[in-house]
A = this chain, B = another copy of it.
């Protein structure tokens, strides 16, 4: 397989690296605008060679992977089409699918195929320097199908996705976009609206309100810190689904509003209870932690090295910590630490050895 990757950053670079390493692809060509970044990608084994201006090497390509902002994709495809051979496949890694699928299917000749993709993987790092051989491992990788999808092209992209060790999920374009509108785009818009609201009210009240908003409020609105340009594009390329989700949301919010106005105790309890029940059912596991965890709370004095003491005790007993978080530590006085273990009796052993070492421990339900 010969692959071209347009946009060799974290995602594109990781795809190239893995496909080369696993020898699924005997040639990976990078396409981009910045030759020093593309040189870097070559030196990191993310790609074999690169082009800044498109040339005939593109006609050897079996799969072209688009790893650039969604809004740029249609134009790049237009530029690539004259070079692509019959049977070539185009796929993308964009986070909205209906817009790009329609745009590309509209301009695609019959014998070149498109399969939309969305790997739900990311990192706190960016750029090809951050390429990660395990970026996609256990992450959900959505491939979308339409009535125009060529099935053997779909199977080929599926094969590529499996090489990345992702968990494949086939979805309709519409369902995909509705899903990300509901669980990603709407939450982001709400977080931004919430921050803007609190800021507005605070500005009208001696700025005292936001100054109280440490900790929890900051956590709740974490997603509002994303790139404004990226989120603008997401809104514009998933417009209808986002508007649908906002509309549904406004009805749910009005439901709360009406019942608060009328003081309807029963309905308010039911609304909050429904939210709690649904939320409690959402799977806790994160990407890469497929097995569920058991979590212990360890109460500790605050002294230098206390976290080291705990991890040393566990390490000495060959107990593997899957997750650890300081819940709160008071200076000079200590606090509590959450430690997660695999569900395989390790948690019981951990509880025992920590208690034997004099720590107060309880299981988190």
Listed in ascending order, the chain A residues whose CB lies under 8 Å from chain B are 120, 124-125, 133-134, 137-138, 140, 169, 171, 175, 178-179, 182-184, 186-187, 189-202, 205-206, 208-226, 228-229, 231-232, 235-236, 239, 242-243, 245-246, 248-250, 252-253, 255-257, 260-261, 263, 265, 268-276, 278-291, 297, 304-305, 307-309, 311-312, 314-315, 318-331, 333-336, 340, 362, 364
Contact = CB atoms under 8 A, between A and B. Distances in A.
The 9 closest A-B pairs by CB, nearest first: A192-B275, A305-B315, A308-B311, A228-B272, A308-B315, A288-B330, A193-B252, A304-B320, A228-B273
B256 A189 contact: yes
A232 B272 contact: yes
Number of copies of chain A assembled together: 2
Most buried by B among A137, A196, A333: A196
A317 to B, nearest CB: 10
Contacts of A278: 195-196, 198-199, 210
A288 B326 contact: no
Contacts of A228: 269-270, 272-273, 276
Contacts of A226: 272, 276
Contacts of A326: 321-325, 340
Contacts of A268: 231-232, 235-236
A296 to B, nearest CB: 12
A283 B209 CA distance: 12
A184 to B, nearest CB: 7
B239 A260 contact: yes
A239 B214 contact: no
Contacts of A202: 182
7 contacts: A138-B331, A191-B220, A192-B271, A214-B282, A224-B272, A308-B315, A323-B329
A258 B235 CA distance: 11
A288 to B, nearest CB: 4
A68 to B, nearest CB: 18
A90 B272 CA distance: 31
A246 to B, nearest CB: 5
A186 B197 contact: yes
B243 A331 contact: no
Nearest to A190: B190
A189 B134 contact: no
A322 B327 contact: no
Contact of A288 (B286, B318, B335): B335
A217 B184 contact: yes
Max chain B C-beta neighbours (<10 A), residue from A195, A221, A242, A322: A195
B218 A282 contact: yes
Contacts of A213: 183, 282
Contact of A331 (B256, B279, B289, B304): B289
A59 to B, nearest CB: 36
A324 B324 contact: yes
